[in-house]
Each structure stands twice: as C-alpha cells, then as structure tokens.
Structure 1
Amino acid sequence: FKVSGQFEDNQASLSSQTPFTFEHAPTANPFDADQFTMRRYGLDIIHKWLPRSHLSFVSKAYASDFERDWWRQVTAKVPAASVRDYVGEAIYQDRYRYLEGLTYGPEDYVIVGRVQGGREQATDSRWAFTVAGFQETMKWAWQAGGNKQELEASLKLHQESYQDRFLVADSSRWARSGAPTTDLYYHLWSASGYVRQAFHLGAWGLTPILRFEHIDMYRQDRLALSRSTSLAGTDSGRERNAYQVLLPGVTLDHQTRQGEAFASIYQGFIAPSKVFGFLVEQNGVITNPLAGASINMQPELSLNLEAGWRGRLWDERLDGQVAVFQNTVRNFYAGGRNEVFRELGRLRIQGLEAALEATLLEQGAHRLRLAANLTLLHTRVLAGQLEDRDLFSQVVHSTATRQEWVDKVNARRDAYELFVRDANGQEVPYPETVLTLEDVPNLSRVLVRFGADQVPAQAPYSPPMSLSGTLTHDWRTWTFGLTGNYVSSQFTEFHNFVAESADGAIGQLPAYATLDAFVRADFTLGKNHRLTFFLNGKNLTNQLYRASRLNRATSGIFPAGWRQWVVGLDLKL
C-alpha cells in the first residue's frame, strides 16, 4: 500500500535565449513573472498471493491525479538595437539594462516580453490528468528436462483522462487568470497484456513473448462545442480513434563461465497521442479529418534488433557489457512543432553501447576503480515527406542559415516543394527552378522528401558519440571521485542545419564536455546509527554550453553547465 504526493512552485523561467544573449548575459532572466505550479497525488495497492511455492499472483490497483499551471510571459524576438524603443524606458531599466554598453550587429536579436498597447501579456497552459487501472500478473515455475522453466502472463485494464486548457491575459504579465482560447478534453481506455515463456536447456535460454494492446480514445473540443446550439448530449462532438496491435518478440541467450551472450528481436510501438492520434491516413498520406471522416491514425511501430555480451573477466576484476542494436521505425509522423511527416516517415537508428568497471588497484585500505560508458549512434531518415510551416514564418534567419538553405535546396531541387504567397495572400508553388537568397524571405512553407535518392538526413538530438568515465578512490570510510562527460555535436531538426539562426531556433548543437567531482565519508555513531557526509561539485570548469533548442522555431537556446556545489548529510537511525 503506497500513497504519494508531490508539490512544486517554481519561479524559474523556461524561456530560451538568442545567441546574442547567450554570449553576453546567459544568466539574465527578464521573465520574472513566469511561474510553474504543480500537484500530484498517487495511490498504489499491491497484493501478492502464493497458492504454491512455484506459483504466484500479483494484483495491482493504481490511481493518480495530476494538475499543473504554467504561466509564461508572451515573448517577441526583437533586434538588440531596438529593445529600448520596443519595451519602453521603464521596462528596459527594470529588466534589460544588461544591454547597456554592448555593441549590436544587424543579426543580434533578443527575446523580450511582447508589448501591445503599452502592456505585457501572459498565457497559462493548464493541464488536468487522471489515471486509474488494474493489473494482474501470474508467474509459474515448472520443470522440464531437468531445467527450470518460467511462464509469466499479465493483463492490464487502464483508463486516463486529460484536459488541456490555454488561457490568455493581455492586461499584465502578472495576471493569473484570463480568457480561454483552448479547452480540449481527451479520454482513453485500454486493455493490454503479454505472455512470456522462458525456456532453459542447459546453458541455453529461449524466451518468446507476445504482447497485445487495444486502445480506444476520443477527443472533444469543448470550447468550440460551447458555441453550438444543436448539441444532443455531453457526448456530442467526440472524435474517436480505436486500434489494436500485436507485438511479438524473442530473446536467445547462452551462459558461459565468464558471462552471457544474448540476442533479441522484437516489435515496439508508441501510441499516437493528443493531436497526432486524431488524423486520417490514406495511402501513407496524413490529413486532418473532414466532417464525417473516419479517423484511422495508427501507432508508430519499430522493429528492434539487439545482440551483445555481459560478464566478468580477469578474476572478476573487470565487469563489462557491450551490445549492438538497430531500430527501424515506421509510421513516423511527429517530427517537431509544426514539423510533421505528411507522408509517414521511416527511420533507422543503429548503434553500439558499452560499459565497463575495472579494479585498477586494491592494496590495503586503498581501492582504485574505473567505470566508463560509451554510446555510438548512427541515424538515417529512410523515407517520408516532411512538411514545415515554421521554418520561414517563425525563425529569424541569419545570413549563414539562409545561404545554407539555398545550397541545400539547389543541390537537390527535385526533392523540395517550395511555396510563396501571391498578391492576394494565397499560397502558390514557388515558380523558379533555382532558389535565390533574395527569395528566401518570401517562402511560406516547404515539403521535403527524404530517402536514398532524395535528401539524406540524420534524426535530431542523436549525438554520434556520448562518453562518460568515473575514477573512484576508496580509502577506509572515505570515497573520492572524478567524472568526465563528453557529448558530440548533434542536429536539432530534420533539415540538419549546421549554421545557427539569429534567434537560436535552429542550428547544430556544438559538442561539449563537463568535469564533476565528489567526496563522501561514512561515520558510525553508536551501535546502530550511521552518518554520511557528501560534497558534490558539478561542471567544475563552469563552461556553459548549448543544451537544447526546445520547441524549435518558436524557441531558441536552452543553456546549461553552470558550476554547482551540493553539500549534505545523510543520517540513518
């Protein structure tokens, strides 16, 4: 029986920065009215029944309730030289004085609070999320051929509801109520389960598994329905989608004196949610449903392959594991905010993961250990057509990103469909066969086709290399450690821009490295009490780095890497 509660009141802004702000004032936070509040309650009831020594039943009932309010100031991207004129003298002196004395160029921008009629504005993203369900799991151990065999089966019934509201307040950035502009309600129930049988024959093991999922969900636009005079009941206007999937898999393993070799193949899935779960797919092309259309969006599926080894070598002085994997994803739709695969995409993710822990020295009270982890990734978009509506309407391009885009398009012109707006504001195809720099600001939308003979691209946020290592020295009750981390450069969107835009919304994230250290000491107080002292230092070099470009075109740089010190005591009575 478990009851949990979590509460948060966070005034830290989650707004991003432009390259200009990141370079000159990365700690500046002009959005002092931003506030994130959250509460969550959870309940788990678990019962285990053992009718036989080799047979068990575990019953679990669970429920949780989550609500959040995320008040954020509405922002605008303004040339640095125009900030004072745009926000006014009072606001400038209050929150933008860090710009004093700096030299601005034509591509230097700042993200500021949007001002209309002399007033700043705020919005609230308000979520209410409830979950409840029941799961029954059976485990049965049986004998065959002198070996222990294990059967496991489970069935789960799950229900959740989600209310997504958006409020706008145009009177003040400090407002905590406003006019609703979105009120969407989602409901989902599902039945799922699996059967897993582990066969053992000597040193060999074979484990097939079959999972199934049935999902039934609907969406209601309650704000739009509130304006209707022809509602027939509370279930009016429900947009439904239901589907089911079977997910087979199998694992093969072989035990040796030094360790275990293993290989597996299985199918995975990610359920479409919110907006993406209520679309229409026809011959691989995705559209919004027309009145009366049958919603049939299917889940994103993947075929996953893995092979590897784990074990101990050299008189157990070295623990390690290594695995290679390949995941091929199909039915891929959601590329990013306003960046979707109108023709469903197919991606391949290949890589290698390795980990080791070695004892380098063990003498007297001294013990020196080394632990390291390595991940190598290679990703490729194999097929699909991406539609991007934000690349030209939201992004403030730099000279470098405009030139890079022109070079990309002209190198593979047949793979790109470009659109502009005519004198009447209607969107029409771009008529020229060669894109010029002068025409880039006139573009309104782009369709990009990926594939072997089309545009080659890597998946975003997939660094080719991630490496970490920790050197630990134990001496009596003291432990000293030093950790290094390295992440290679990575793309942040499917166009794979290397250059950075003037607002920081697009562009490759440079590689970065951090260095951490810690000290820990254990003390015994009396017979049964233990006291642990710890001191952790994070990013000792205080080197800031670009960690993300969250929300893509409507956002910018999210910095990370400030030096932190954490000190504490842990007392066990």
Structure 2
Amino acid sequence: MFHVRLKLSAAVITAVFAPSLQAQQESSSTSSPDNTKSVVASPIKPVVMPRIDVIGSYENLKTISGSADVLDKKTLEASRVFTVNEALRKVPGIHMRDEEGLGLRPNIGIRGLNPTRSTKVTLLEDGIPLAYAPYGDNASYFHPPIERFDHIEILKGADQVRFGPQTIGGVINYITPAPPEKFGGHIQAIGGNRDYFNGKVQIGGKGLLLDFTHKQADGARDNLHSEIRDYNLKYVLGLTDSQALTLRANYYTEDSQLTYSGLTTAEFRNFGARYNPFRHDKFNSGRVGVSATHDLIIHDDLMLTTNLYFSRFDRDWWRAASTTTDSQCGSAFVTARNNGQAVDVDTCGNQGRLREYYAWGVEPRLKYNHNLLGVKSNLDFGFRAHYETQDRRQINNAQFDPTQNGLRESNVRETQAYSWFLTNRFNLGQFTATPGIRYEYIDYERKNRLTGVSGNDNLDAWLPSLGLTWNPSQLVTFFAGAHRGFAPPRTEDVIGTTGTSTDVGAEKSVNWEVGARAKPLEGVDVQASFFRNDFQKQIAVGSIAGGSTPLAQGETLYQGVEFASKVDTILGVYLRTAYTWLPTARQESPFTRVDTGAVVTGSASGNRLPYAPEHLITAAVGYAKQGFDAQIEAVHVSKQFSDFANTVGSTVNGQAGLIDPYTIFNLAINYHYQPMRTTLFFMIKNLTNDVYIVDRTRGIVPGMPRLIQGGVRYTF
C-alpha cells in the first residue's frame, strides 16, 4: 500500500492540506489522525497532496476576513451541472454570462464587474494560475470541463491579496481530485438532445490518478457544435519524512464549429434566436500544462511550498465576421443583415485569428507560525516570477481557403512579472487581525514583425490590505476587510502597433466589505455581507474583437449585499439559496478614451454600468433519502444594460439595448443503487424552454434552449 509519510503539525495540515468545507463536516468520521481523508465518505482513501488552498478546511472560516464559499462535490454531483456557468451561479456575487452555451469560454463577473472574458477574476487550479496569460492578456478563451474538478473555492475580500494579479472581484480556485491509495475509479456516460454526449473515465491508485473526458454538443444556435477531449494525470510522491511532491500533466483539445458574431435585431425577429448563417466558422484549440508542487517541512512551525508550472495554449479562430457591423463580407452583406434578410456566407472572406501563448513561472510560499511580537501569529509570505509570450497572427483571405496567406498582423508580446506578498494574522482570542501587502511589477514588450518596430514599458503597484474577524461563539463569525484592488492592463493596451506607449496604468480601487457567517441551527449555514468597490480609475477594455470599442477609463462605484444559505432537514428536504442585490453600479464620471481623452459615446455620470444586473438569484429545493436525490433549481437574472448610454430599445445592429430579465428552471434526479455501486441520473435544463438574450457585445446572443439528458455512473 502506498503511503506518503509526512510528520506535519496539525496547524500546518489545517492550513494547507485540508479538503473542502463540506467534507470537513460530512466525513469527519473517516478522517485519520494526519487528516488524510477523502473529499466525500469513501473506502478509497486519498493520499496527502501538496497544494495551495484558497480557503482550505472548515476551521479556517473563523479567520478568513471576507466572503468565502465552497462548491463541494456533493452539490456539484446532485445538481448535475452541465457547465462551469451552472456551477458558479450557485455562489452569491457571481454573474455568469453564457456565450456559445457550453461554458467553454466563461464570462465571469464578480460584484457587478463586466463579465466579458472573465478579465477581472483570478482563476487558479490547485492554487496554480489557470489563465494562459494572466498578466498580458487575461481573457478566457479556454476553460477546463467542470467534470475535471472535485470542488471549487471562491474567495472575495481582503485575503485575496495573497493571490493575484487580479485582486478586485475575487479568486476562484478549482480543486482536482486527490489520488487514492487503493485502486479504484469510475466510468460515466451521459447523453441527450442537441447531440449531447459526455463520457468520462477516472482510474487511480498508489498515488496516481488518470482522468479522461470526452464531451460534445450543439451550441445555443444553428451551425454551432463543439467537441473537447481532456486528459489529466496527477501523481503524489512522498520523498522523505518531511518532503512530498505532486506532479500534474494535462492535455486538452477543442474542435468547434463556432461563430463570433451575434444577431441583428431584424435577424432575431425574422429568423428566431437559433439562426446563424456562418456555417464555415471554426475554432480549434489545444493546451498542454505541466506543474509540480513541492512541500518541505523545515520544522513544526515552518513550511515551504513551491509551485513550478508551464503551459502552452494555441487557438485558431477562422470566421467571416466578428460582429454584426463587421464589413469583411462587404457593405451589402451588412445591410442585408440589418434588414433581416438571409445572407450567403460563401461569398465572404475568411479571417483567421491565430494565437499561441506560453506561460511559465515559479512561486515559493512560506508559512510560519510564531510569537515574535508576543502574540500568537501566522505569517504567510510568497514570491512569484512569471513569464508570458504571445505569438499573434491575423490572416485575411478572400475566400474560405486557409492556403491563402493574406497576413495582416504578426507580432510577439512578452510579459515579465514579479510579485510578492506578506500577511501576518494576529490571533487575539476571539479576534484576529490580518494586515497584508502585495507588490506587483510588470514589464511589457511588443514587437511588430511586419514592420520591425518594437516598444516596451513597465508598471508597478503596492496593494495594502487589512482583514478582521470576531468569533463571539463557535457558531458565529463576523468579518470585515479593506484592500486596494488591482488589475493589470493588457500588453496591447500599453504598447501600440507602432511601438509607442500609452499611459494606461493599472486600475485603482478601494474595496471593502463587512459580513457574518453563522450556523444558527444544526444543518443550517448562512453567510451575508455588504460590499463596496470604489474605483478611482476603472479600465474599460474593448471587448469586441478588432478593437472597435476604444480603451476607456472612468470613476465608478459598486455596492450591494450578498446572501447565501444552506438548509438540511432531518426529513430529507434541503434548500440552497444564493442572492445578490446590487443597487449601485454607477458611472461616477463619464468614461473617456485613453488615447484622445474624448468622452465615450453615451457615457455620463449617474448611468448604470453595462452587464451589472441589480438582482441575481439561484435557489434550489430538493429531497434526498436512501440513495434518491431530486431537486429543482430556479436561476433569475434581472434586467441589465448593454452599453454606457443605457440604451433601452434594441439598436439595428443588436449590439445595444436593454437585456430583459429572465428566469430558467433546472431539474435533476439521481438514484444511487449501492449494491451495484451504480448511479442513474436524469436532468432537464431550461425546463420551460424559454427564449432569452444573454449578451449583446457582438450582436444578440441567446441562451441555451431546453436540454434533456440522462446518464449512468459505475464506481469500482
């Protein structure tokens, strides 16, 4: 039998190795003295695994000075989430905007921030940067399938300065399963309408875990279809009594028939929400990632954890139009679309946006429990050296013929980033106080290979923080925190094609919140917080391909309330609620163009910011007993504006106009037959088959129609 022999103090294990919050409550009876337990009650015991947790164990909540949520394995499996969008909607404060319908390019907005491409969120996997260019181009054109993960940690507030570089909205840390000691695994198959198939195999033992997922489906519109393959390997090795090593490798591919342009208002009216004439458009991508995490116990109160990582991501997106106003196919083509007439894409040109991204880095983190100032304290210190290279080309062809070579763009963008953070938690009886500081230094370089012109620039930022908690009893924690927010500009925003620098700078905001967590009754968990994000400068990056939206900046204010609750009764009935009220998402000053200083069309003080709905509600009621689990979930998104001008009526091109509120219902039924170690499940997404709009940035984009799915899982 494989064992990792680590002589770790209980305090260090709690801070670093403990699994999810739900596991801490539900599986305590299966825990061993060294805390090496399964994420759910299971005879297959996982090995201890070096990993950076954002939240960690249930006990850590008493000292976390911000909103903290964990989507545990039980919640993800019982609701049979189809995409990462479905999963993260269960957390208050998060606005998930659909795109192609499969969650392959998630748009995550936290506390009112624009969700486009998830640019204001720090995404991690096992504590390691997941984005392919978090400093130079933090846009999500890739996301692993939700099936890869065991649970998800979401942290907002002052404590997020330990991560980064984005420290405004929050940190999302996806946790992969721990390899088991004993041989075991599972096989799963799901099928449904819209050509949906999801096959998964997971097998492991003796510290090794292998995982494969194949997933395919039609998207939310005609002529959209995606297939992905995800291979994942993880191996945990005990080196000595005081050292352990986790090795990871991942290979991901996507082949999609996928357009970029939305619909005009007339197309939506005449042909319906599923219409999409761009049948030749395609998106192909691949990602290779490897990483290693090493743990060294220097002594009982001192631990060093080091991450070393590398990833390569490439994506080729060939398309006939990027927006409803794209004139690549000619002015007559655009006019026909605006008039709601059918168009022939065979006469269009073919534009290829070809990208390769390389990212690598090293990040040691030190934890030290001490009493140097006469107070029991926990010090965290970390340093990151991170490097990125973007190889970007654009080819415009007269027809859909990739052999032609109308090269319009060829440049290399390089980013070097160095950061460090230091926090110290003072434990003062019922109180904790955690002052912290983070420093970011970023060096940008861009070279235009067509002209030979290059340019470089740099910026740095100091990000202080302070977090407080008060635990008047074992059942209640009050928390408060304030910190400086930061999000670096993209390389292309800082340095233009001619090599000149633009004084963009980083976003500047002061973010704070106050709240409470409580367990007032057995089986009841609640959390509520009030937040305020005050931007002295918020950067509005052009979200439409081709730069048709100018880079702009302005003063903004976001403030609101988050509430989450979980209720489990002895009768088997359970309730889950996540509610966000955002009464304020306001432009405090008109947004102005960075390059010219001109006011962006329609922007004005007092206007509401786009894609910031006032109300977000996800609520579920279910019944679970003796292997049976059924639940119905409601997801409500209130109305939202799609431009700075707060345009109400839909514009001709569909890119501006009020997005009406919508509510969709999801049903999930599970039955686990223990004698055969088999689970059967049945799901309906968008139960009432509502037609609703989710996005207008490139034209009207609808949400997914009704999906009916069924599957089986066998565990061995």
TM-score range, shorter chain: 0.7 to 0.9
Cα distance in 1 between the residues matched to 2:258 and 2:403 = 16
1:232 aligns with none
Provide closer, same or farther for how the CA distance between residues 77 and 388 of structure 1 changes in structure 2, counting only shifts above 3 A: farther
Cα distance in 2 between the residues matched to 1:567 and 1:545 = 25
1:534 aligns with 681
1:297 aligns with 504
**SS in structure 1 opposite 2:416?**
strand
1:438 aligns with none
| Equivalent runs, 1:35-50 vs 2, <5 Å | 35-50=282-297
**SS in structure 1 opposite 2:588?**
strand
Q: 1:272 aligns with which of 466, 489, 499?
A: 489
Cα distance in 1 between the residues matched to 2:580 and 2:648 = 22
2:166 aligns with none
| 1:242 matched to 2:444 | no
Shift of 1:40: 0.5
| Equivalent runs, 1:86-97 vs 2, <5 Å | none
Cα distance in 2 between the residues matched to 1:539 and 1:513 = 9
CA contact (8 A) 1:75 1:113 kept: no
Q: Which amino acid aligns with 1:138?
A: L
Provide closer, same or farther for how the CA distance between residues 52 and 182 of structure 1 changes in structure 2, counting only shifts above 3 A: same
| 1:469 matched to 2:619 | yes
Provide closer, same or farther for how the CA distance between residues 106 and 345 of structure 1 changes in structure 2, counting only shifts above 3 A: closer
Cα distance in 2 between the residues matched to 1:358 and 1:333 = 40
Provide closer, same or farther for how the CA distance between residues 130 and 111 of structure 1 changes in structure 2, counting only shifts above 3 A: farther
CA deviation vs aligned residue, 1:388-409 (integer Å, no higher than 9, x gap): 99xxxxxxxxxxxxxxxxxxxx
Provide closer, same or farther for how the CA distance between residues 147 and 77 of structure 1 changes in structure 2, counting only shifts above 3 A: closer
Cα distance in 2 between the residues matched to 1:298 and 1:362 = 55
| Equivalent runs, 1:490-501 vs 2, <5 Å | 490-501=640-651
2:383 aligns with 155
CA contact (8 A) 1:242 1:296 kept: no
1:8 aligns with 254
**SS in structure 2 opposite 1:178?**
coil
Q: Of Structure 1 and Structure 2, which has the larger fraction of its residues in strand? A: 1
**SS in structure 2 opposite 1:256?**
strand
CA contact (8 A) 2:504 2:594 kept: no
Q: 1:26 aligns with which of 273, 279, 296?
A: 273
Shift of 1:387: 4.7
Shift of 1:105: 12
2:566 aligns with 357
CA contact (8 A) 1:387 1:448 kept: no
Cα distance in 1 between the residues matched to 2:592 and 2:343 = 31
| Equivalent runs, 1:310-321 vs 2, <5 Å | 310-313=517-520, 315-321=521-527
CA contact (8 A) 1:312 1:318 kept: yes
| 1:557 matched to 2:700 | yes
| 1:371 matched to 2:576 | yes
**SS in structure 1 opposite 2:382?**
strand
1:217 aligns with 444
Provide closer, same or farther for how the CA distance between residues 76 and 558 of structure 1 changes in structure 2, counting only shifts above 3 A: closer
| 1:348 matched to 2:565 | no
Cα distance in 1 between the residues matched to 2:267 and 2:539 = 33
Q: Which amino acid aligns with 2:505?
A: Q
| 1:450 matched to 2:593 | no
| Equivalent runs, 1:152-191 vs 2, <5 Å | 152-170=380-398, 172-173=399-400, 175=402, 177-191=404-418
Cα distance in 1 between the residues matched to 2:495 and 2:594 = 19
Flag the structure with more relative contact order, 1 or 2, with Cα contacts below 8 A and sequence separation at least 6: 2
CA contact (8 A) 2:536 2:556 kept: yes
| Equivalent runs, 1:36-435 vs 2, <5 Å | 36-74=283-321, 108-110=339-341, 112=343, 119-143=347-371, 148-170=376-398, 172-173=399-400, 175=402, 177-225=404-452, 237-257=453-473, 258-278=475-495, 295-313=502-520, 315-336=521-542, 337=544, 338-340=548-550, 344-359=553-568, 361-363=569-571, 367-377=572-582, 378-387=584-593
Cα distance in 2 between the residues matched to 1:182 and 1:61 = 33
1:393 aligns with none
Shift of 1:19: 2.5
CA contact (8 A) 1:22 1:559 kept: no
Shift of 1:238: 2.1
CA deviation vs aligned residue, 1:157-194 (integer Å, no higher than 9, x gap): 00000022111110x23546431111121001011010
Q: Which amino acid aligns with 2:257?
A: Q
Provide closer, same or farther for how the CA distance between residues 448 and 503 of structure 1 changes in structure 2, counting only shifts above 3 A: closer
**SS in structure 2 opposite 1:450?**
coil
Q: Which amino acid aligns with 1:371?
A: R
CA deviation vs aligned residue, 1:112-153 (integer Å, no higher than 9, x gap): 4567xxx32111111110001011100011247997421110
2:663 aligns with 513
Seq. identity, %: 23
Q: Which amino acid aligns with 1:450?
A: A
Structure 1 unaligned spans of 5+: 88-103, 226-236, 280-287, 390-414, 418-445
Cα distance in 2 between the residues matched to 1:33 and 1:495 = 34
Shift of 1:239: 1.0
1:406 aligns with none
Q: 1:522 aligns with which of 668, 672, 676?
A: 672
CA contact (8 A) 2:260 2:321 kept: no
| 1:568 matched to 2:711 | yes
Cα distance in 2 between the residues matched to 1:548 and 1:163 = 29
Cα distance in 2 between the residues matched to 1:501 and 1:299 = 33
1:410 aligns with none
2:232 aligns with none
Matched pairs, number:
457
Q: Which amino acid aligns with 1:246?
A: W
Q: Which amino acid aligns with 1:298?
A: G
Cα distance in 1 between the residues matched to 2:355 and 2:678 = 41
Shift of 1:546: 0.5
**SS in structure 2 opposite 1:349?**
strand
Provide closer, same or farther for how the CA distance between residues 219 and 524 of structure 1 changes in structure 2, counting only shifts above 3 A: same
Cα distance in 1 between the residues matched to 2:348 and 2:301 = 67
CA deviation vs aligned residue, 1:299-354 (integer Å, no higher than 9, x gap): 112210111001111x3242100011011123333253444466x41111111110
Cα distance in 2 between the residues matched to 1:278 and 1:467 = 41
CA contact (8 A) 1:328 1:347 kept: yes
1:459 aligns with 609
CA deviation vs aligned residue, 1:367-405 (integer Å, no higher than 9, x gap): 10111111011211112443599xxxxxxxxxxxxxxxx
CA contact (8 A) 1:335 1:494 kept: no
